[in-house]
């Protein structure tokens, strides 16, 4: 009897999926970014999760908090094609997708591919372009393909969009439609650094002199590795009660009297996929309620709309999501 009790106490958890390589790669990527970026750990973590979950990210923050730099350097840690598009009010859909040009030699039209034909796309100030230009991204983001002049072009994996926007300036901007926002896995709010982080930033900048920061970053991941890690994520185990927990959270947004618009089934799937990525990064082959709680905020905040009464009372989407999670029983 005593031997049985001892055996039970000495039980060790053995991971059923080999996540060692994935964890090592994530640690190396964080280490590379840490050479330049001080703080902003949550943003970096969520961007890595979005890559593993194969989802796009919208980064929102005031000017100068390293939104663009972080996304650019993260793309540099991956040995894949990178495009940056600066959105402006006069940008046309053809400036992004490409256009057909008449070839005099062959007397035929040739399609000239635009900057969207890449692996990692950084869209700076996405809310500065008009609705028709924003709509040009719909098909590419949702279906990872583009149809032009009746021809279909498949996007080469990995295909990920990192978009930035400034919440302060409203002049000369076009608010992203709900359908566009829904295609982003995360909306990541970037805050100011703390006093200690600000001092560290100044010290680093002083020591670097005029060094090009991009030169400090080494490529860690190949396209094949990213694809294999994305496949590993799909094998993470999810208990039935946790699926019900995710469904209960999303369903609550639709029946909540304080919300004018709730989240769609796309949000439920996003929570599931992102939770798996968080579990894998932490070396677990199963998800826990804490994994779900970690990703619920960034996934749901841009998908819900508060009632005018709640907005006038000073409520925010972030606070509403926190209150909503408190009301739902955590599975045991």
Three-point CA angle 319, 323, 326, nearest 5°: 145
Residue 207, token pair as written in the block: 């020591």
Fold of 16-230: Rossmann fold (3.40.50)
| Predicted local confidence at residue 170, as pLDDT | 67
The pLDDT > 70 percentage for the chain reads 93
pLDDT of residue 14: 65
C-alpha distances in angstroms, 60 versus 122, 316, 322?
13, 15, 19
Fold of 236-332: Helicase, Ruva Protein; domain 3 (1.10.8)
Is residue 162 classed as helix, strand or coil in its secondary structure?
Answer: strand
Residue 171: what pLDDT? 66
Within this chain, domains 16-230 and 236-332 share the same CATH topology: no
Q: So where are the chain's domains?
A: 16-230, 236-332
Does residue 138 contact residue 182 with C-beta atoms inside 8 Å?
no
For residue 138, the model assigns a pLDDT of: 83
> Which residues contact residue 226 at a Cβ distance below 8 angstroms, ignoring those fewer than 6 apart?
51, 78, 80, 157, 158
| Residues lower than pLDDT 50 in the chain | 1-11
pLDDT of res. 13: 56
Containing H/E element for 54? none
Query: What residues contact 309, with CB distance under 8 A and at least 6 apart?
Result: none
User: Looking at the chain, how many residues does it have?
Assistant: 332
3-state secondary structure at position 11: coil
**Residues 6+ away with beta carbon under 8 Å from 70:** 33, 37, 40, 43, 44, 47, 59
Report the alpha-carbon distance of residue 225 to residue 46 in Å, rounded: 19
Q: What is the percent of the chain where pLDDT is above 90?
A: 30
Q: Are 155 and 115 in contact (CB under 8 A)?
A: no
Compute the distance between CA of residue 256 and CA of residue 223 in angstroms, rounded to an integer.
42
Going from the C-alpha of 328 to that of each of 238, 285, 331, the distances in angstroms are 18, 25, 9
Instruction: Give the model's pLDDT for residue 210.
Output: 64
User: In a 3-state reduction of DSSP, which class is residue 73?
Assistant: helix
């Amino acid at each position: 009897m005593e031997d049985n009790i001892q055996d039970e106490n000495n039980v060790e958890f053995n991971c059923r999926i080999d996540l060692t390589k994935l964890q090592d790669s994530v640690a190396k990527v964080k280490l590379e970014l840490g050479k330049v970026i001080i703080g902003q750990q949550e943003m970096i973590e969520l961007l890595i999760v979005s890559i593993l979950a194969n989802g796009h990210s919208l980064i929102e923050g005031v000017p100068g908090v390293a939104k663009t730099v972080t996304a650019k350097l993260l793309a540099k840690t991956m040995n894949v094609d990178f495009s940056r598009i600066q959105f402006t009010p006069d940008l046309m859909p053809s400036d992004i997708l490409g256009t057909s040009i008449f070839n005099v030699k062959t007397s035929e039209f040739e399609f000239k591919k635009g900057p969207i034909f890449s692996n990692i796309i950084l869209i700076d100030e996405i809310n500065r372009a008009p609705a028709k230009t924003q709509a040009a991204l719909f098909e590419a983001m949702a279906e990872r393909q583009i149809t032009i002049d009746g021809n279909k072009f498949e996007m080469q994996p990995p295909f990920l969009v990192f978009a930035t926007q400034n919440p302060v300036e409203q002049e000369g901007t076009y608010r992203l439609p709900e359908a566009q926002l829904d295609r982003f896995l995360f909306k990541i709010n970037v805050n100011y650094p703390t006093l200690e982080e600000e001092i560290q930033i100044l010290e680093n900048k002083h020591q670097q002199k005029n060094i090009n920061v991009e030169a400090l970053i080494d490529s860690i991941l190949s396209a094949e590795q990213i694809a294999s890690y994305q496949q590993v994520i799909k094998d993470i185990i999810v208990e039935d009660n946790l699926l019900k927990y995710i469904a209960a959270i999303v369903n609550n947004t639709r029946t909540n009297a304080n919300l004018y618009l709730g989240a769609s089934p796309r949000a439920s799937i996003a929570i599931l996929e992102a939770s798996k990525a968080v579990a894998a990064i932490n070396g677990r082959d199963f998800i826990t309620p804490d994994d779900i709680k970690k990703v619920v905020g960034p996934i749901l905040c841009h998908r819900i709309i508060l009632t005018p009464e709640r907005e006038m009372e000073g409520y925010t989407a972030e606070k509403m999501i926190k209150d909503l999670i408190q009301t739902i029983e955590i599975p045991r």
